[in-house]
Structure 1
Amino acid sequence: MTIMIQPSIADARNCVYETIDSRAVELRQLDRYIHNNPEPAYEEVIAHNTLSTFLEKEGFEVKRHAYGVDTSFEAEFGSGGRLVVYCAEYDCLPGIGHACGHNLIATASMAAFVGLARTLKKLRVPGRVRILGTPAEEGGGGKVKLINAGAFKDDISAAIMSHPIAAHSYEAPYTGMAGFKLIASYKFRVEFFGKGAHAAGEPWNGINALDAAVTAYNSISMLRQSIHPDERIHGVIEAGGTVPNVIPDYTRMNWYIRSPTLARASLLVVKAKACFQAAADATSCKLNYIPYVEDMEHIGEKVILKQDTPGSISSDMGNVSYEVPSFHGVFAIPAPLDVTGHHPSFAAAAGTDKAHGAAIQCAKGMSMLGWRVLTDDKIAESARKDFDSKDS
């Protein structure tokens, strides 16, 4: 009888690092091309094709337009054992490019996937690794669409990704964080329907939808003084009329409502919707809602184990974490001291060689995390236990 000897962590590290390092030129080109061709939610055609082609050249069979989402893709390697999924984001912020560094997220996840897949093959270890293209994180709820389409219905042991953050967010010598706490987020649009009329000649015949939007905005502003310090409500008027002498018959607002837990966020949504309904009632407008759908230290990186208090930002990776055990870390990239994400200067920082280098370092750690989940029963079982005992 043949006795199978489990490869060591050192064996896996050497294979992961060698695989990723040997593709340094291709990965930098991939990163740069996505960064230089930013595309907003659900319009990531260039990124979708570029990432899919990269995987095909690596020998993987790619499902383009996966799960009925035009700019999603999926590829998988391996058999038997557990399943690990790497999530790749690649949409930009409208008008300011990759100001959240999603080009780096895509690069890190792709490198981690290839590194782990090649390691599983070389070391002949059972297990499956999948890369899933997850478009439209910036306000589009892409992962929610993928969840609803069945992308996370399999028995997945871990879904993994990491996000760049400004290096000055951490005190030296730390360059990242494993346990990055985000907050729950509801995102939806609010429409008010009124009746157009000449604003000077017959205003009494009109129903002003802009008045409803302004009333709603002011009501939410007053609501903010009574919410918790760790909660956020913020919105904009996307459509507010055309010309001053015509009473607007239609307005549309875009709102984000955030709180540390889903339960608290749900209560805050109830309060916010009361403001929207009151605005509609006060102006006689009709109302409608549009819902959105240890290894790092080995390569010289000092990573904070966990964040004690949640940040005031959100991600649809949180929706994934309600479906399967999930990991969402962060890695530091150099950025101006007065700049964090969602700023044009952060978009510029995300395109630098140093930022790419940080993403590649993170990819090696993510690849090794996937290896540990696939090969270490204790880690996989602990992740499942934490997932099963999660609160709201």
Structure 2
Amino acid sequence: MTVTEINIKEVKAFVDAALEGLQKELRELNHQIWSNPELAYEEHQAHDTICDFIEAQGFAVTRHAYGLDTSFEVLSGTGGRLINFNAEYDALPDIGHACGHNLISTSSVAAFIALSLALKKFGLPGRTQLLGTPAEENGGGKAKLIEAGAYKGVDISLMAHPGPKQIYPGQECCGIAGTLMNARKNIHCEFSGRNAHAGGNPWEGINALDALVSSYNNVAVLRQQLLPDQRIHCAFLDTPKVANVIPAYTKAFWQVRSPTLTGLTTLIGKVRNCIEAGALATGCQVKIEEDELYTDVRLNDTLCERYQVHMGSYNRDVLKRHDKVLTGSSDIGNVSYETPTLHTMFGIPAPEKSFPHHPTFAAAAGTDEAHTEAVIVGKSLALIGWDMVSGDDLYDITRNQWQDEIVRKD
């Protein structure tokens, strides 16, 4: 059977049937991940749960892939283009799966299985990759996987992230195919001064707490000049535990976000100035280190359009894209600089004003209704993969759009 003889409706019917037969197992997989939240690079149970599940379906799994203990890789098929699906499964401290990564992994696992079986059923050349991508919240797992070569040869990368149905204020829908996200970078700073008795001879001290507070206040003043979608966050990691000693050491952690890499670079420079000024004003020494660059996301109109079409076939009304920046960040942006990428947002039932990184969203991510949406999304991702494997013209358009976006952003 040739590609032209295979009707997309036949493929959809096969995908639906294949995942219907795994309905119970997929729900249990989702529940196991949601019930056992694990932090960045500690997702051992999620890693093993997913690997065990995939092996039970007859696929060979490479555990602890690419030098990361909680990453894995599954490859299927021969010849043709390589379609990558990203599975995230890390959680947040204290509030569990409040970003719904259990649903991300569920949708990607479903998509991988469905497309792999469809390619085999219809005899179409093409390859699939399910990549376990740990530490999205903090740690930049995908950036490390890129460096290790995990995305080498990938033609299309696909994944989906849950959110409330009103992800943007006043805009309720079943999801948004293309969402712009901020570039992000971490800054770590340590101030070093000199101890002294706070009551007896404070003039002999060099106050590292003053340096830290001054730097924080400097950034607070800078906020007046931030662009609307730029963000700066700070956590004080090491501060004095007593009041009667001039502190000689403090430590802080900053995250800086901007809609573009160029804007991020400029803003990072300003934040560094604020930190260095705090040190200068107090006479402290300061050590500043930057790490974990998450780039902005390069949208692809063709992938967004195909997602909109396939979700529509499941009676889900999805916006093609939204031009307002979703001011969160993700290391999927780094992948979008490597290959054409879709990082869609899909809506799940959640309480009013619930939003990712809140306990109410963690509860919503564990429901049967949210699972149902994740599986439908997985089916749609599988069908996009089919489009990209089977349609030379469509793939060429997708690739050309990605290259044009690189030129435009560079």
Contact 2:3/2:390, CA 8 A, preserved across alignment: no
Q: Which amino acid aligns with 2:291?
A: P
Question: Which of 306, 311, 325 is the matching residue for 2:340?
Answer: 325
What is the aligned partner in structure 2 of residue 30 from structure 1?
29
What is the aligned partner in structure 1 of residue 302 from structure 2?
none
Taking structure 2 as the reference length, the TM-score comes to 0.91
Secondary structure of 2:166 counterpart: helix
Q: Structure 2 vs 1, CA of residues 27 and 248 (structure 1 numbering), >3 Å: closer, same or farther?
A: farther
Q: Structure 2 vs 1, CA of residues 146 and 195 (structure 1 numbering), >3 Å: closer, same or farther?
A: farther
Q: Which runs of 5+ in 1 are unaligned?
A: none
Contact 1:73/1:133, CA 8 A, preserved across alignment: yes
Query: Aligned equivalents of 2:357 and 2:3: distance in 1?
Result: 50
Q: Which amino acid aligns with 1:288?
A: I
Query: Aligned equivalents of 1:337 and 1:3: distance in 2?
Result: 49
Question: What pairs with 1:259-338 in structure 2 (closer than 5 Å)?
Answer: 259-283=258-282, 284-292=284-292, 294-338=309-353
How far the C-alpha of 1:290 sits from its partner, in A, is: 4.7
Secondary structure of 1:152 counterpart: coil
What is the aligned partner in structure 2 of residue 186 from structure 1?
185
How far the C-alpha of 1:369 sits from its partner, in A, is: 0.8
How far the C-alpha of 1:4 sits from its partner, in A, is: 7.1
How far the C-alpha of 1:169 sits from its partner, in A, is: 3.1
After TM superposition, the structure 1 stretch with the greater mean CA deviation from structure 2, 68-77 or 199-208, is 199-208
Query: Aligned equivalents of 2:18 and 2:192: distance in 1?
Result: 57
Question: Which of 164, 170, 176 is the matching residue for 1:166?
Answer: 164
Contact 1:52/1:73, CA 8 A, preserved across alignment: yes
Query: Aligned equivalents of 2:13 and 2:378: distance in 1?
Result: 14
Contact 2:77/2:120, CA 8 A, preserved across alignment: yes
Q: Does 1:383 pair with 2:381?
A: no
How far the C-alpha of 1:248 sits from its partner, in A, is: 3.0
Deviations along 1:206-230, whole A, 9 cap, x unmatched? 3322222211111111111011112
Q: Does 1:241 pair with 2:240?
A: yes
How far the C-alpha of 1:5 sits from its partner, in A, is: 5.6
Secondary structure of 1:70 counterpart: coil
Q: Which amino acid aligns with 1:213?
A: L
How far the C-alpha of 1:335 sits from its partner, in A, is: 1.1
Over the residues paired in the alignment, what is the CA RMSD in angstroms?
1.8
Q: Which amino acid aligns with 1:289?
A: E
Q: Structure 2 vs 1, CA of residues 198 and 58 (structure 1 numbering), >3 Å: closer, same or farther?
A: farther
Taking structure 1 as the reference length, the TM-score comes to 0.95
Question: What pairs with 1:15-164 in structure 2 (closer than 5 Å)?
Answer: 15-154=14-153, 156-164=154-162
Contact 1:139/1:187, CA 8 A, preserved across alignment: no
Q: Which amino acid aligns with 1:336?
A: P
Contact 2:189/2:286, CA 8 A, preserved across alignment: no
What is the aligned partner in structure 1 of residue 305 from structure 2?
none
After TM superposition, the structure 1 stretch with the greater mean CA deviation from structure 2, 162-171 or 227-236, is 162-171
Question: Which of 352, 368, 373 is the matching residue for 2:383?
Answer: 368
Query: Aligned equivalents of 1:298 and 1:23: distance in 2?
Result: 21
Secondary structure of 1:224 counterpart: helix
Query: Aligned equivalents of 1:276 and 1:172: distance in 2?
Result: 39
Query: Aligned equivalents of 2:2 and 2:23: distance in 1?
Result: 36
After TM superposition, the structure 1 stretch with the greater mean CA deviation from structure 2, 42-51 or 5-14, is 5-14
Q: Percent identity?
A: 45
Q: Which runs of 5+ in 2 are unaligned?
A: 294-308
**Residues paired across the two proteins, number:** 390
Misfit runs of 4+, over 6 Å? 170-173
Secondary structure of 2:288 counterpart: strand
